[in-house]
Structure 1
């Protein structure tokens, strides 16, 4: 008795994580870099613990809200554009169905199918769900890549808050005469961990990701510290 067809194996893909992972890594990286740079800049200008604590706490609160709001607004704009394109495609299928099917066939032919096979695929997919075929193959949209404003805002805001708390805690716990080196070292360690973790979750090589976040984090702190020392004012 023949057995029903089944896939030989199920592959593990990481592309379905790109939406929230991008926002989470962006939020965490910005939280660590911006708050640690702010603390280092303020410490270079005014090393009093009170000034550093106020600056760090204000940077954490303002940054978390800014990241969440910015992600929500930008991803909402992307979502609006996607919905508008889908609406136009839906209307085009009503107005000119034959032309839309021919357009779908040309897309498949450009990807390597013969003209006859492309036309057959376009016809069968059109009969099953024409809009879904055009959204996927003409617009390049899918459920995996669809913009999700709330998901991006929550991921970015939450990870910013958690990550920004690390250099702030290091500054609070450090001796008053060693705030800058303590924050710098702890920040670089956190950035290295973030780069490696982000690469691991996304299934990407860890070394390039770690080196990338370390370089830009160190550059941000160095520039901000230089501004603090140069002007002697809170940055």
Structure 2
């Protein structure tokens, strides 16, 4: 078993900078939060714009927005909980297997660790020395990090992930609800379109920055997607409103 991924790591006792893995983990959380907010913006904006196109009554618009917010937040939280729980179970199984291998075939595991460091560019002698020293210090942690790319002390909490997803979706969903409910009836849809597209441009820029992607392309992609979603639901609302459904 080999992996190129680094472990999350942690700051040292003397206040050193976090390891690259820890920074990567934090960036992943931030990206997930931005994407969750983006989902909340687009999902609820589509709902409220569609209903607002069919009626000027605030009651149905508010009901649709709250229902979309609640359903979306629960769905995001549940999906994240299941996903992270599955990942955590897999990581625990891999770690348990590694413990057994270290207890039953320690020499083979030492050879494997040395080979992994040699594959990273160290000379055979240096790789062997590093493997022996790390094994003497903490064989399990060394193999978990280099072989599996897992920090045994930093496994993701599924409840924390679920809560973060629900909160980020809710925060994103609040914007289109305020934009559609606060202005007068004649300005609701234009104001919501502008507010949502500006918010999507911001989330697109943030996600691109965190992911190291091209900003203009990310912004255009997310703004066009949001605009299409609102245009489609607006058209449906108009048709249903005219039909009196």
Q: TM-score, normalised by structure 1?
A: 0.83
Q: Contact 1:105/1:122 (CA < 8 Å) preserved in 2?
A: yes
* Offset of residue 198 of structure 1: 4.5
Residues 50, 234 of structure 2: 8 Å contact kept: yes
171, 175, 188: which one aligns with 1:166: 175
Counterpart pick for 1:48 among 45, 50, 57: 57
Partner of 2:228: 219
CA deviation after TM superposition for structure 1 residue 209, in Å: 4.1
Within 2, Cα distance between the matches of 1:102 and 1:227?
64
Query: Which has the higher mean CA deviation after the structures are superposed, 28-37 or 215-224?
Result: 215-224
Q: Structure 2 CA distance, aligned partners of 1:143 and 1:178?
A: 54
Which of 132, 141, 152 is the equivalent residue of 1:132?
141
Maintained 8 Å contact 2:35/2:203: no
Task: Compute the displacement of 1:152 (Å).
Answer: 1.7
Question: 1:157 offset after TM fit, Å?
Answer: 1.1
Question: Which one of the candidate residues 121, 124, 127 is aligned to 1:115?
Answer: 124
Is this contact kept in 2: 1:31–1:164, CA < 8 A? yes
CA distance in 1, matches of 2:223, 2:48: 17
Distance 1:97 1:222 in 2: 62
RCO comparison, higher one (Cα < 8 Å, 6+): 1
RMSD across aligned C-alpha pairs, in angstroms? 2.9
Matches of 1:115 and 1:99, distance apart in 2: 16
Runs of 5+ consecutive residues of structure 1 not aligned to the other structure: 1-8
Q: How many positions carry a matched residue from both structures?
A: 226
Give the conservation status (yes or no) of the 8 Å contact 2:102–2:140.
yes
Gaps of 5+ in 2: 1-15
TM-aligned CA distance change 1:193 to 1:61, over 3 Å: same
CA offsets, 1:59-112, max 9 Å, x none? Answer: 111211221222122111111111111111111111111111111111111111
Alpha-carbon distance change, 11 to 153 in structure 1, aligned in 2, over 3 angstroms? closer
Moved more, 72-81 or 177-186: 177-186
Residue 18 of structure 1 and its aligned partner are, at CA, apart by 2.5
Contact 2:141 2:152 (8 Å CA) reproduced: no
Structure 1 residue corresponding to 2:196, chosen from 187, 194, 209:
187
1:163: how far off? Answer: 1.6
- TM-score of the two chains, using structure 2 as the length reference: 0.80
Which residue number in structure 2 is paired with residue 100 of structure 1?
109
Match of 1:4 in 2: none
Which residue number in structure 2 is paired with residue 176 of structure 1?
185
1:69 aligns with 2:78: yes
Paired residue for 2:163, among 134, 151, 154?
154
- Structure 1 pair 144/90, CA: closer, same or farther in 2 (3 Å)? closer
Kindly provide the CA deviation profile for residues 125-183 of structure 1, in whole angstroms up to 9, marking residues without a partner as x. 11111111111111112379742323322221112112211100111112223322221
| Aligned counterparts of 2:121 and 2:19: Cα–Cα separation in 1 | 26
